[in-house]
Amino acid sequence: MTTTTGPKDTFLNRLLGRIPLTGWLALAAPVAAVVFAGLVTALVLLVTGNPPVETLTTMVEYGTQPRTMVLTLNSATMYYISAIAVALGFRMNLFNIGVDGQYRLAAILAAAVGGSAVLPGFALTVLVIVVAMAVGAAWAAIAGILKATRGVSEVISTIMLNTIASSIVAYLLVNVVGVRRDNNIGTRPIPEDSWVPGVALVPGTQAKVFGLIFLAIALGIGFHVLLNRTRFGFDLRTTGANREAAIASGVNVKRMVVIAMVISGAVAGLAGMPQLLGASYSYSLDFPAGLGFNGIAIALLGRNNPIGVAIGALLWGFLDNSATILDLQEVPPEIVQIMQGVIVLSVVIGYELAHRYRIAAEQRKVSRELAAPAAVEGAKA
Amino acid sequence: MGEADISSQPVAAPAVELVGITKRFPGVVANRDIHLSVAKGQIHAIVGENGAGKSTLMKILYGMLRPDEGVISVDGTKVSFHSPADAIAAGIGMVHQHFMLADNLTVLENVILGSEPRKNGVAIDFAAARRKIREISDAYGLGVDPDVLVEDLGVGTRQRVEILKVLYRGARILILDEPTAVLVPHEVDELFENLKELVREGLTVIFISHHLDEVLKVADAITVIRRGTTVATVDPGSVTARRLAELMVGSELPSPETRESTVTDVVALSVRGLTVRSPDGRPVVDDVSFDVRKGEVLGIAGVEGNGQAELVEAIMGMRASTGAILLEGQDISHWPTLKRREAGVAFIPEDRHRHGLLLESPLWENRILGHQTKRPNVKGPWIDRAGARRDTQRIVEVYDVRTPGIEVDAAALSGGNQQKLIVGREMSGDPVFLIAAHPTRGVDVGAQAAIWDHLRRARAEGLAVLLISADLDELIGLSDTLKVILRGRLVADVDPASVTPEELGSAMTGAGEAA
């Protein structure tokens, strides 16, 4: 009689991509949203007395220069890792808001280990990466364990852990691992033979892309395989889609919460590594901030799908880096943040509309295909 | 096929008349040559299996779809609806199955939402609205207070608010889509009283249902729809539920009766002193003990909420309990759910959407659910997509799941087909013991017969089944042994061969000890 859209068909589930969109809709929705965001930005530019077309074309021109493209790829690499960490939690209904704290704490401790040069060459590189993952995992595990044993909302606990992480990082930097250099304070630099060399991916520039871009790509593939091809991934998705059904099917949901948090935290710990091992070689006051929060926006934008998240990360990187030209044009670069905000909002709305359309279309299709034999039979009768 | 002993010959023009209504969707015919005549001042029921075309017909009548052929007349005048607004203007109102009320608003606010009476052109005239709602409520005995918040109302009252909403907009003909699906028995009785009051006041009610007993109780005329067309209009006074069901499925109906006993003396599941406590320490399952043998169906009869759900969850390991549960002699009472499932406990849950399905996942992923560690779904830690797909295809064929394919989402299937998929899944992999909680709830008669057949066949092959049901015919027909649960305790054993539904019903309410 009534085709059921179940209780789990909530706005939140659709928002987080636990309910998949398929076909051309999956593409049309975000593209339309970005175009729409462009129009809104143009309007804002117009209102603030800046020439919209000129400003946007300047951004595109500057953004497509080889050097800027390298910078875009580099930003995108870190955004991608951070967003994948967020997406992993999202797929199981866990809101790891704490990626920000996890990656910064991981980065400073990994940098300290790297600066101590306890191992030579490549072995130290591996050690730095492992330490970063372990620290990120441990920090996230606190929230996971609190949720599993005490029912503490991970949203609250990870936000608090972010604040705590900030204080710890500041304390460590000033009092424990930091060394003062000029106006900056940072960890001892990692020896050169343990750096991850950049790769010349973009012709026409001396600038090199982070070598760890390949780690990001591997993480994306790993994320896809883990979720779609393994039993663990099935359990994780099931827990996210229908917790009650997961329990009835034999999934130990509490254990899943802790494991998912740990994996998410381990990936989060990697977010700062391309910068640490590929550019700054030390954790200092000017280490990139806010990767975690941008990761949340990008995960939403890409609907927690590894390809979608990659596109989102590239878009974010592009916007960030092409905005640097705006200062020269005497246009406030904050216009880019407005654009990013509008993109997130319109993508959310776009996906929602596309989803409604898809549900209706699928139900029509099924009833059509089922009614067909009945109609034939009826005609015979 | 054509059974047309239309009993009521209306003297006046019928309230609604449909002649030769046909609705095609690209490539198919959803409604074909529908003929329906609803007399004024009657309750007219429309029954049919899931997917028979009731919804399409109602959407046509309510202006949500336009027919390709045929004529709709209201009160003898030919009409053509372009939208529900046209239907409302013609005096037709629809009460949807799922309530469309804002919880945080009052009844008054909900009722006037979208058609607010105006004072001086701008302000909402609450006083006039309140007066009108009171009038309607009193005139039809709805007993609705306009000033309470909807969130404080029970399901039955909410439904009356929905009815009031439709009446407020001037409807003289009410369409109710499966109105009893969400109600408990005494609320159903109240609803029927309200409906009778409405028709006494000259309104006309079109009532869609697949609960045949209810239809027989309340309707003045019944029209049966099968495969998109009206096959008969019958008088409830001269037809039995069984005959109606046969008209709906178009064939002789199998009964749930189990002929010969297949009960062995090998105990598959043994429960000893099982107690489940609610968070406040009260026992909701109280010292329950029973054995289920191979080839035996043990039925648990009881009014809902007497501990059945908790008993099932305790056996599945989803809820903490004390006492012993032995599966083939092995104590499994401390095992996690997964291990119990692996050991051969199968589970048809009471609420398939909550516990049994991933609605937004394809059928083959639903095949894996609950069987994540077993072949052909997995190979070691990897999901075996090909294996799971192949086996889903098998289930679809063997269990007659009507679906265009295994890649469609479970949400796209009708309730009966979802349930057949679950039954097929749980029967896979040679289970030792099956918990079937309300296995045919909310499914149409065709699927019900099929599910009974599968249960009976599995029993004949030596499966031990714990059957929990509210359908007394199902319990009596399928069970080899029947126990009655009341306030968490097993209070009586009854012999399904000799007990009548009436006796069982009184045992369930604790009225007396059955034989």
Tell me if B125 is assigned to some domain.
Answer: yes
Q: Do B383 and A6 touch (CB under 8 A)?
A: no
Tell me if B380 is assigned to some domain.
Answer: no
Per-residue pLDDT, A117: 80
CA angle B39, B42, B46 (to 5 degrees): 85
Q: Is the pLDDT of residue B8 over 80?
A: no
Query: How remote is the C-alpha of A191 from its chain's centroid?
Result: 30
- Mean per-residue pLDDT, B47-67: 81
- A362 and chain B in contact, CB less than 8 A: yes
Determine which of B310, B409, B425 to mutate to test the interface with A (most A C-beta atoms within 10 Å): B409
Tell me if B438 is assigned to some domain.
Answer: no
- Mean per-residue pLDDT, B343-354: 89
In chain A, residues 248-267 whose CB comes closer than 8 Å to chain B:
248-252
- A365 and chain B in contact, CB less than 8 A: yes
Per-residue pLDDT, B407: 85
Looking at beta carbons, which residues of chain B come within 8 Å of A20?
Answer: 360
Give me the torsion for CA of B146, B150, B155, B156, rounded to 10°: 0
Looking at beta carbons, which residues of chain A come within 8 Å of B388?
Answer: none
Tell me if B61 is assigned to some domain.
Answer: yes
Q: Is the pLDDT of residue B7 over 50?
A: no
Q: Are residues B241 and B267 in the same domain?
A: no
The residue among A10, A40, A89, A96 whose CA lies nearest residue A338 is A40
Strand order from edge to edge, sheet including B433-437: B345-348, B433-437, B464-469, B297-301, B481-486, B489-494
Per-residue pLDDT, B254: 53
Instruction: Read off the pLDDT of residues B19-41 as tens digits, 9 standing for 90 and up.
Output: 988 887 644 457 888 898 999 88
Write the CATH number of the domain with boundaries A68-328. 1.10.3470
Å from B420 to nearest chain A CA?
15
- What are the structure tokens assigned to B348, written together? 């048809």
Give the ipTM: 0.78
Backbone φ, ψ for residue B177 (5° rounding): -95, 110
Q: Are residues B73 and B107 in the same domain?
A: no
Looking at beta carbons, which residues of chain A come within 8 Å of B178?
Answer: 1-2
Å from A87 to nearest chain B CA?
18
Closest CB to B356 among A2, A245, A366: A245
Looking at beta carbons, which residues of chain B come within 8 Å of A245?
Answer: 354-358, 369
Q: How far apart are CA A334 and CA A112, in angstroms?
A: 34
Concatenated DSSP letters of B93-113: EEE-SS----TTSBHHHHHHT
Classify B286 as helix, strand or coil. strand
Instruction: Read off the pLDDT of residues B263-291 as tens digits, 9 standing for 90 and up.
Output: 888 889 999 999 999 887 888 899 999 99
Q: How far apart are CA B23 and CA B30, in angstroms?
A: 6
Backbone φ, ψ for residue A342 (5° rounding): -65, -40
Residues 6 or more apart from B70 whose CB is under 8 A from it?
B18, B19, B20, B21, B22, B33, B34
Per-residue pLDDT, A76: 95
Looking at beta carbons, which residues of chain A come within 8 Å of B422?
Answer: none
Closest CB to A247 among B210, B318, B402: B318
Q: Do A242 and B415 touch (CB under 8 A)?
A: no
Q: Which domain holds residue B10?
A: 1-91+173-179+195-248
Q: Are residues B148 and B276 in the same domain?
A: no
Q: Are residues B87 and B99 in the same domain?
A: no
Q: Do B360 and A366 touch (CB under 8 A)?
A: no
Q: Do A372 and B28 touch (CB under 8 A)?
A: yes
Q: Are residues B115 and B230 in the same domain?
A: no
The residue among B280, B222, B282 whose CA lies nearest residue B6 is B222
Q: Do B359 and A6 touch (CB under 8 A)?
A: yes
Q: Are residues B104 and B54 in the same domain?
A: no
Residue B263: count other Cβ atoms within 10 Å of its Cβ: 17
Q: Do B369 and A368 touch (CB under 8 A)?
A: no
Q: Do A4 and B340 touch (CB under 8 A)?
A: no
Concatenated DSSP letters of A212-225: THHHHHHHHHHHHH
Instruction: Quickly tell me which residue has 């659709």 as its tokens.
Output: A14
Q: Which residue of A has its CA nearest to B58?
A: A1
Q: Which residue of A has its CA nearest to B52?
A: A1
Per-residue pLDDT, A269: 95
In chain A, residues 203-242 whose CB comes closer than 8 Å to chain B:
228-235, 237-238, 241-242
Looking at beta carbons, which residues of chain B come within 8 Å of A10?
Answer: none
Instruction: Read off the pLDDT of residues B315-329 as tens digits, 9 standing for 90 and up.
Output: 999 998 999 999 998
Per-residue pLDDT tens digits of chain A, which is 381 residues long: 333 333 345 666 656 555 555 566 667 777 888 888 888 888 988 888 888 888 888 888 998 899 999 999 999 999 999 999 999 999 988 999 999 999 999 999 999 999 888 888 899 999 999 999 999 999 999 999 999 999 899 999 999 999 999 999 999 998 888 888 777 888 888 888 889 888 888 888 888 889 899 999 999 999 999 999 999 999 999 998 888 899 999 999 999 999 999 999 999 999 999 999 998 898 988 889 889 999 999 998 888 889 989 999 999 999 989 888 888 888 888 888 888 888 888 888 888 787 777 767 766 676 666 665 544 444 433
Q: Do B357 and A6 touch (CB under 8 A)?
A: yes
Which CATH number belongs to the domain containing residue B12 in this structure? 3.40.50.300
Dihedral sign, Cα of residue A19, residue A25, residue A31, residue A34: negative
Per-residue pLDDT, A370: 63
The residue among A201, A199, A170, A197 whose CA lies nearest residue A186 is A170
Q: Are residues B72 and B99 in the same domain?
A: no
Please, which contacts does B255-262 make with residues 24 or more away whose CB atoms are closer than 8 Å? B255/B477, B256/B452, B256/B473, B256/B474, B256/B476, B256/B477, B256/B478, B257/B477, B258/B297, B258/B456, B258/B459, B258/B477, B258/B478, B258/B479, B258/B480, B261/B295, B261/B480, B262/B295, B262/B296, B262/B459, B262/B460, B262/B462, B262/B480
Q: Which residue of B has its CA nearest to A21?
A: B360
Instruction: Read off the pLDDT of residues B92-127 as tens digits, 9 standing for 90 and up.
Output: 988 887 778 888 888 988 888 877 887 777 788 888
Per-residue pLDDT, B514: 38
Please, which contacts does B158-162 make with residues 24 or more away whose CB atoms are closer than 8 Å? B158/B99, B158/B101, B159/B95, B159/B99, B159/B183, B159/B187, B159/B191, B160/B191, B160/B194, B161/B99, B161/B101, B161/B107, B161/B110, B161/B111, B162/B95, B162/B96, B162/B99, B162/B100, B162/B101
Dihedral sign, Cα of residue B104, residue B105, residue B111, residue B117: negative
- What are the structure tokens assigned to B76, written together? 């003898």
* Backbone angle region of B145, left / alpha / beta, with phi > 0 → left and psi within -120 to 50 → alpha: beta
Residue B13: count other Cβ atoms within 10 Å of its Cβ: 15
Classify A79 as helix, strand or coil. helix
Per-residue pLDDT, B259: 61
Residue environment code for B431-442, b if the CB has 16+ CB neighbours within 10 A, otherwise e: bbbbbbbbbbbb
Q: Do A6 and B210 touch (CB under 8 A)?
A: no
Q: Do B369 and A245 touch (CB under 8 A)?
A: yes
Q: Do A241 and B412 touch (CB under 8 A)?
A: no
Å from A3 to nearest chain B CA?
6
Q: Do B354 and A244 touch (CB under 8 A)?
A: yes
Q: Is the pLDDT of residue B511 over 60?
A: no
Are B173 and B74 a contacting pair, CB within 8 Å? Answer: yes
Q: How far apart are CA A380 and CA B442, in angstroms?
A: 30
Give me the half-sphere count of Cα atoms (radius 13 Å) on the Cβ side of residue A309. Answer: 32
* Backbone angle region of B70, left / alpha / beta, with phi > 0 → left and psi within -120 to 50 → alpha: left
Are B477 and B508 a contacting pair, CB within 8 Å? Answer: no
Instruction: Read off the pLDDT of residues B430-474 as tens digits, 9 standing for 90 and up.
Output: 899 999 998 887 677 778 888 998 998 899 889 999 999 877 778
Q: Are residues B28 and B157 in the same domain?
A: no
Looking at beta carbons, which residues of chain A come within 8 Å of B441?
Answer: none
The more confidently predicted of residues B314 and B189 is B314
- What are the structure tokens assigned to B272, written together? 């000893």
- Count how many domains chain B has: 3
Average confidence score pLDDT of chain B: 84
Are B111 and B165 a contacting pair, CB within 8 Å? Answer: yes
Query: How remote is the C-alpha of A351 from its chain's centroid?
Result: 18
Determine which of B50, B312, B358, B368 to mutate to test the interface with A (most A C-beta atoms within 10 Å): B358
